[in-house]
């Protein structure tokens, strides 16, 4: 299992990749809308990029859930430690 800081950094990199791919698709779609310019990405390319974005978004979501679970475990451990401090 990775440390939460590493997972958080991975999530930042994933969201950056998704944002970058969205920018590429947006720029390509603008070309398609301009008269006389052809888009560089065909329907297959766009489908591949969308599939990659969905996969990356799901991975980031899973990582965020892992961080939440780790935080809950740490809170439970801390609460157990607080309970034990009052014992003789």
pLDDT per residue as tens digits for the range 9-66? 888 899 999 999 999 988 888 876 677 778 888 889 989 999 999 999 999 999 889 8
- Asked if residue 7 lies in contact with residue 63, where contact means CB atoms within 8 angstroms, the answer is yes
- Give the model's confidence band at 73: pLDDT under 50 very low, under 70 low, under 90 confident, else very high: very high
- State residue 58's pLDDT score: 92
Whether residue 88 lies inside any domain: the answer is no
The encoded tokens of residue 78 equal 């801390």
Whether residue 87 lies inside any domain: the answer is no
Which residues span the domain enclosing 69? Answer: 4-82
- Asked if residue 53 lies in contact with residue 18, where contact means CB atoms within 8 angstroms, the answer is yes
Query: Domain tally for the chain?
Result: 1
- State residue 6's pLDDT score: 82
Whether residue 30 lies inside any domain: the answer is yes
- State residue 20's pLDDT score: 92
The model's pTM = 0.68
């Amino acid at each position: 299992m990775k440390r939460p800081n590493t997972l958080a950094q991975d999530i930042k990199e994933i969201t950056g990749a998704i944002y970058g791919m969205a920018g590429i698709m947006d720029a390509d779609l603008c070309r398609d809308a301009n008269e006389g310019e052809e888009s560089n990405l065909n329907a297959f390319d766009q489908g591949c990029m969308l599939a990659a974005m969905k996969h990356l978004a799901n991975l980031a979501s899973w990582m965020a859930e892992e961080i939440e679970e780790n935080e809950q475990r740490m809170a439970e451990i801390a609460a157990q430690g607080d309970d034990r401090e009052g014992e003789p």
